[in-house]
Amino acid sequence: MRIGVPKETAANERRVALTPDVAGRLVKAGLSVVVERGAGEAASFGDDAYGAAGATPVATAAEAFGSDIVLKVQPPSVQEARLCREGSALVALFQPAAERESVSQLAARRVTAFSLALLPRITRAQPMDVLSSQATVAGYKAVLLAAVATGRFFPMLVTAAGTLTPARVLVLGAGVAGLQAIATARRLGAVVSAFDVRAAVKEQVESLGAKFLEMQIGEQAEAAGGYAKQLSEETHRRELAFLAQQVKDADIVITTAAIPGKRAPILITADAVGGMKPGSVIVDLAVETGGNCELAVAGTDVSRNGVLILGPVNLPSTLPYHASQMYARNISSFLLHVTRDGKLVVDFDDEIMRETCVTYAGEVRKS
């Protein structure tokens, strides 16, 4: 079986689906791996490293896409989908509803396509969990962006000019990205507090040295798989009022709240931004799915009443070396799960395969 790794073509995407060390492991497992020349260059993985690991560099994307299974980070473009060999397979990270044209083209080519964004939250799938690994990168980098943007130190400093107080950081949402943001801000010396509608995460927040802000929710706020669920209108109104008071004291707010398959919930209104201190910074990690801050704009920095609101997109790509390492380990675990004796084994009795398969036998299964 031949595994193909094309160079990512999406704007500003610097990650690669397989790193040389992981490619080497797949080769030792009996698979043939071809990598388009330059595919790992932006992530600091050269063609020579792939060759030394046993992979074969190829000159064109068409050669990589002509493989039995194609591994990508971003979803394929329509043009890339047309390069896939009929009856082949593809694994990438995407939401089918946002890629309807490419998904239709994959189905037309009878490509068996899998999206790792659809992995079920079960123990067996943990080694394949790209959403968690890439969220780790995003949470870490969000704090660094805030540290650069703010006009103050993170730690308390005792200097000849007197004592400087530490930055106060508020993290909204204590999933993987939020917990990593808490840990990173604490390492930099900030005083950190966090809020999440799921009371179950309190212990995790406090174990990282942050204060957990509690609010009486009065309803079930956790859905299957441990994700937060959408609150009732009345509870959400109370939540907005509660958070409007909390952000007043924060120097930096990092928002990470998401609801799978839905628009990100608004947690910071324009009025709440108006109540914040001049010089405060908001980093909205949910901006790509609508944003937690009402004023956030994807890919743009917005200034309102002296408050700077950052809307970074695709943060994992800004740390491509380690983001690619984690992604490659995740996707190789998935690959070894769905193949046996050098062949793709489609078994819809298997929950992992059933939930992640987007197209099969010319039909769209997830849209």
Identify whether residues 11 and 159 lie together within a single domain. Answer: no
Identify whether residues 335 and 264 lie together within a single domain. Answer: no
Identify whether residues 154 and 298 lie together within a single domain. Answer: yes
Answer whether 193's CB lies under 8 Å from 246's CB: yes
Torsion of CA 16, 17, 22, 27, to 10 degrees: -110
The answer to the question of residue 284 being in a domain is yes
The answer to the question of residue 308 being in a domain is yes
The number of domains in the chain is 2
Identify whether residues 57 and 173 lie together within a single domain. Answer: no
What's the token pair of residue 286? Answer: 């949910």
Domain span holding position 30: 2-118+320-360
Strands 339-340 and 343-344, sheet pairing:
antiparallel
Q: What is the pLDDT of residues 305-348, one digit of tens each?
A: 999 999 999 999 999 999 999 999 999 999 999 999 999 999 99
The answer to the question of residue 367 being in a domain is no
pTM: 0.94
Question: Residue 212 and residue 251: Cα distance in Å, rounded?
Answer: 17
363: pLDDT strictly greater than 90: yes
6: pLDDT strictly greater than 70: yes
What's the token pair of residue 298? Answer: 């994807």
pLDDT of 58 reads 98
pLDDT of 224 reads 65
The answer to the question of residue 192 being in a domain is yes
Identify whether residues 104 and 253 lie together within a single domain. Answer: no
Identify whether residues 214 and 296 lie together within a single domain. Answer: yes
Q: What is the pLDDT of residues 67-96, one digit of tens each?
A: 999 999 999 999 999 999 999 999 999 999
For residue 254, which of 279, 284, 278 has the smallest C-alpha distance? Answer: 284
Identify whether residues 113 and 154 lie together within a single domain. Answer: no
Identify whether residues 72 and 157 lie together within a single domain. Answer: no
38: pLDDT strictly greater than 90: yes
Identify whether residues 181 and 152 lie together within a single domain. Answer: yes
Mean pLDDT in residue range 215-221: 79
103: pLDDT strictly greater than 70: yes
What end-to-end distance do the CA atoms of the chain give, in Å?
Answer: 28
Confidence of residue 1 (pLDDT cuts 50, 70, 90): very high
Least confident of 42-56, 208-222, 340-354: 208-222
Identify whether residues 151 and 299 lie together within a single domain. Answer: yes
Confidence of residue 225 (pLDDT cuts 50, 70, 90): low
The answer to the question of residue 302 being in a domain is yes
What's the token pair of residue 273? Answer: 């931004």
Least confident of 87-96, 129-138, 209-218: 209-218
- Helix extents (H) in the chain: 20-28, 47-52, 61-65, 78-83, 100-108, 130-149, 176-187, 202-207, 233-247, 270-274, 320-338, 351-356
The answer to the question of residue 29 being in a domain is yes
pLDDT of 306 reads 97
pLDDT of 217 reads 82
Phi-psi region of 255 (alpha: psi -120 to 50; beta: other; left: phi over 0): beta
Confidence of residue 226 (pLDDT cuts 50, 70, 90): low
Answer whether 36's CB lies under 8 Å from 9's CB: no
Q: What is the pLDDT of residues 253-276, one digit of tens each?
A: 999 999 877 899 999 999 999 999
Count CB-CB contacts under 10 A for residue 234: 10
Identify whether residues 90 and 102 lie together within a single domain. Answer: yes
The answer to the question of residue 69 being in a domain is yes
Identify whether residues 78 and 159 lie together within a single domain. Answer: no
Q: What is the pLDDT of residues 186-197, one digit of tens each?
A: 999 999 999 999
The answer to the question of residue 126 being in a domain is no
What's the token pair of residue 236? Answer: 């959400």
Average pLDDT over all residues of the chain: 96
Residue 35's domain is classified under what CATH number? 3.40.50.720
Which active-site residues does the annotation give? 121, 126, 129, 132, 227
